[in-house]
Amino acid sequence: MSQKAAPMNITQVVGNHVCILRKSNHMSQSQLANILGVTKQAVSKWECGLCAPDLSVLVHIARIFGVTVDCLLGMKSDNE
């Protein structure tokens, strides 16, 4: 019997997207944190799905990476 992975919650979805976008742009957690005015630990917590960025920070993240907030929330892909 195979077990299905539990679906990701919105916090995990956002963190996963932030991590993918950051890495694809060759950016460290520290670099992203400095641009956003947050700590490296905050970025790490987002990427681990422990918490999500505030809405204003989410908008800033979307602008930095040239995607929509919808994309960060997993509502649609960034190329739609």
Q: Is residue 38 part of a domain?
A: yes
- Under DSSP, the state recorded for 76 is S
Q: Is residue 5 part of a domain?
A: no
Q: Is residue 15 part of a domain?
A: yes
pLDDT score recorded for residue 65: 98
Element (H, E) at 28: none
Q: Tens of pLDDT along 34-80?
A: 999 999 999 999 999 999 999 999 999 999 999 999 999 998 765 54
Q: Is residue 34 part of a domain?
A: yes
Q: Find the CATH number of the domain harbouring 68.
A: 1.10.260.40
Look at the chain and report how many structural domains it folds into. Answer: 1
Q: Which of 36, 77, 38 is nearest to 60 (CA)?
A: 36
Q: Is residue 29 part of a domain?
A: yes
Q: Is residue 77 part of a domain?
A: no
Q: Is residue 65 part of a domain?
A: yes
pLDDT score recorded for residue 4: 66
Please tell me the distance from the alpha carbon of residue 55 to that of residue 28, in angstroms, as a whole number: 22
Q: Is residue 51 part of a domain?
A: yes
pLDDT score recorded for residue 3: 66
What CA–CA distances, in Å, run from 24 to 1, 2, 5, 51, 56?
Answer: 36, 32, 25, 22, 22
Residue-range definition of the domain harbouring residue 48: 10-72
